[in-house]
């Protein structure tokens, strides 16, 4: 289907002006732009102040007369001083925010011949920042004496170096973007806020892959979705957001799920399947737990990321998918590279921009605003507004921010806690008794998890969920203690002296470092992997 060409421009109070039949004897840029034979305007969005409404009506009528195929539409904006940067930019910015762009079917052009120089520069700024997903065009009068012809049109660049006054509005927009990435939560942790600021800059200015690391429940999936929404609001993405938990697409079905297959390529392939990478074409692919992918999937993913092309299972014909990649993991992929579990070249390709999300217990000052956020989410989903009693709020926050709160599942724990308290609250108020019960419930949960599986999170971060699940409980307990000692010791010799303190007294000659090395090798670990693992 042919794409429509849409021009967005301001009414020229002087250049577009015309009275009676004699108006056709002069060059009028807005009307003339629709007279070019090699540039068909399907729709002209004419922006004007209400004071120029009559002129706008006349220009729209004249456009229709010279180009019947062009639909001319009026848009009213208001600014008292057409030379006031902040006022003009604000009015045009509001127009852009509410305009229904359809970049899949239409091409947009911003006409900057008319309007004041300030208005032209503001249109350029909005286009350069991708709020206007358009190309700039400028019209100029014909060189000869025939001023009734279409004249010329061309693209143009502007020198914006001396227009610094507008920067305050850009700063406001930057704050809005940061707040958006944080789901509107007024976070107080300075390292986290700096992290989000860096992510915002990268999200807007780069199409390179991003790697989000951090413990389970730290918010990687939600942040990836917000990055997608931010980029889409800037018209940088048009396709879908496709999320894949790589731990659930392992084995024989993984290749088909990710890359698709052709009919008859294996038993059960009764019809063609496009796969998740194709579903993300033009959009964003979020590969959560990317470290769980097998070697074959890693190899194909590397080529798909580098060349945007790959072969579906059983096909001898390549397909293409242009997606923006964000990968997430709670593993140390560098350690996985050293033991051959993860491809070094793939890691090099996806970690140009790596951001580590901290655990909730490392952001104690952010627990209160996140508590309010979870209450708002509960109200939105259930239609019931719940609040804390003052004493109950103080009691729960004191516990939640203390060293007693493990928050092993991070924000998932907090979400579950708020949902339980809000559900049990009487009369829309969470009482001291209700908060105390939840504190006890959380304590029991964390103590029970540690008693059943001590060191679970620590070992899963080093071994991965699959290898951890293959260990007997006896081996997990023993290995957790060994790893804990090794992480604190300054050398293998020191760790050996602690671990083998009794048996070494009965032997005159013993090599403590060697005993530690051999034990770790027996479970597929090395000293370097343990020391490299984040505590």
For position 171, what pLDDT does the model report?
Answer: 56
Residue range(s) defining the domain that contains residue 502: 456-532
One domain for residues 323 and 185: yes
| Domain-terminating residue out of 421, 452, 483 | 452
CA dist 483 to 182, 333, 450, Å? 35, 18, 16
One domain for residues 192 and 153: no
Query: For a pLDDT cut of 70, what percent of the chain falls above it?
Result: 89
First to last CA, the chain: 56
Q: How large is the average pLDDT for residues 368-389?
A: 92
Q: What is the pLDDT of residues 414-454, one digit of tens each?
A: 999 999 999 999 888 999 999 999 999 999 888 776 555 66
Per DSSP (E only), the strands in 372-411 are: 387-388
One domain for residues 521 and 372: no
Tokens of 338: 């050293």
Q: What is the pLDDT of residues 497-526, one digit of tens each?
A: 888 877 766 665 568 888 899 899 888 888
For position 417, what pLDDT does the model report?
Answer: 96
One domain for residues 44 and 147: yes
| Residues 366, 224 contacting (CB under 8 angstroms) | no
For position 225, what pLDDT does the model report?
Answer: 93
| Domain-terminating residue out of 356, 376, 392 | 356
Q: What is the pLDDT of residues 124-173, one digit of tens each?
A: 999 888 889 899 998 888 876 665 677 888 866 444 444 455 555 555 56
| Domain-terminating residue out of 452, 473, 498 | 452
One domain for residues 279 and 342: yes
Domain count, the chain: 4
The pTM for the full model equals: 0.61
- CA–chain centroid gap for 57, Å, is 43
CATH of the domain at 47: 3.40.50.10770
- For 191, other C-beta atoms within 10 Å of its C-beta total 10
CA dist 255 to 143, 258, 264, 272, Å? 62, 5, 15, 13
User: Which of the 8 DSSP states describes residue 426?
Assistant: B
Instruction: Write down the mean pLDDT value for the chain.
Output: 86
Task: Give the torsion through C-alpha atoms of 189, 190, 192, 196, to 10 deg.
Answer: 130
| 107 DSSP β-pair partners | 5
Q: What is the pLDDT of residues 167-192, one digit of tens each?
A: 555 555 656 667 777 777 778 888 88
* Nearest CA among 239, 415, 444, 197 for reference residue 324: 239
One domain for residues 228 and 370: no
């Amino acid at each position: 289907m042919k794409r429509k060409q849409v021009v967005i421009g301001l009414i020229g109070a002087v250049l577009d002006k015309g009275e009676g039949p004699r108006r056709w004897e002069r060059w009028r840029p807005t009307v003339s732009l629709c007279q070019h034979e090699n540039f068909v305007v399907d729709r002209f969005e004419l922006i004007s102040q209400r004071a120029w409404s009559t002129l706008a009506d006349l220009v729209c009528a004249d456009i229709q007369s010279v180009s019947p195929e062009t639909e001319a539409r009026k848009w009213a904006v208001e600014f008292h001083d057409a030379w006031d940067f902040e006022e003009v930019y604000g009015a045009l910015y509001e127009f852009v925010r509410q305009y229904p762009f359809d970049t899949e079917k239409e091409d947009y052009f911003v006409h900057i011949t008319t309007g004041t120089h300030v208005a032209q520069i503001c249109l350029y700024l909005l286009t350069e920042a991708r709020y206007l997903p358009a190309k700039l065009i400028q019209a100029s009068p014909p060189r000869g004496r025939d001023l009734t012809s279409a004249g010329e049109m061309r693209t143009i660049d502007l020198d914006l170096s001396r227009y610094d006054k507008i920067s305050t509005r850009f700063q406001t927009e930057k704050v809005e973007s940061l707040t958006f990435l944080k789901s509107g939560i007024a976070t107080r942790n300075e390292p986290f806020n700096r992290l989000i600021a860096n992510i915002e800059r990268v999200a807007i200015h780069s199409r390179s892959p991003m790697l989000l690391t951090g413990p389970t429940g730290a918010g990687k999936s939600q942040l990836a979705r917000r990055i997608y929404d931010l980029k889409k609001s800037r018209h940088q993405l048009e396709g879908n957001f496709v999320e894949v938990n790589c731990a659930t697409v392992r084995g024989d079905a993984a290749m088909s799920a990710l890359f698709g297959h052709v009919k008859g390529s294996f038993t059960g392939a009764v019809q063609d399947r496009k796969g998740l990478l194709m579903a993300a074409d033009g959009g964003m692919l979020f590969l959560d737990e990317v470290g769980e992918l097998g070697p074959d999937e890693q190899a194909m993913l590397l080529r798909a990321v580098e060349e945007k092309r790959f072969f579906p299972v059983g096909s001898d014909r390549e397909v293409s998918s242009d997606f923006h990649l964000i990968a997430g993991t709670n593993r140390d992929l560098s350690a996985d590279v050293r033991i051959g579990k993860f491809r070094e070249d793939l890691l090099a390709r996806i970690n140009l921009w790596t951001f580590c999300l901290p655990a909730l217990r490392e952001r104690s000052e952010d627990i209160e605003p996140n508590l309010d956020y979870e209450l708002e989410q509960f109200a939105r989903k259930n239609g019931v507004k719940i609040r804390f009693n003052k004493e109950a709020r103080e009691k729960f926050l004191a516990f939640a921010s203390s060293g007693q709160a493990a928050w092993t599942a991070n924000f998932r724990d907090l979400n579950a806690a708020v949902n339980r308290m809000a559900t049990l609250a009487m009369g829309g108020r969470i009482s001291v008794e209700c908060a105390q019960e939840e504190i006890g419930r959380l304590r029991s949960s964390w103590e029970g998890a540690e008693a059943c599986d001590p060191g679970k999170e620590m070992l899963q971060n080093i071994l991965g969920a699959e290898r951890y699940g293959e260990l007997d409980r006896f081996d997990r307990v023993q290995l957790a203690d060994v790893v804990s000692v090794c992480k604190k010791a300054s050398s293998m010799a020191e760790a050996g002296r602690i671990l083998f303190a009794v048996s070494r007294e009965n032997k005159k000659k013993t090599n403590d470092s060697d005993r530690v090395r051999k034990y770790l090798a027996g479970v597929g670990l090395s000293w370097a992997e343990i020391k490299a693992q984040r505590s």
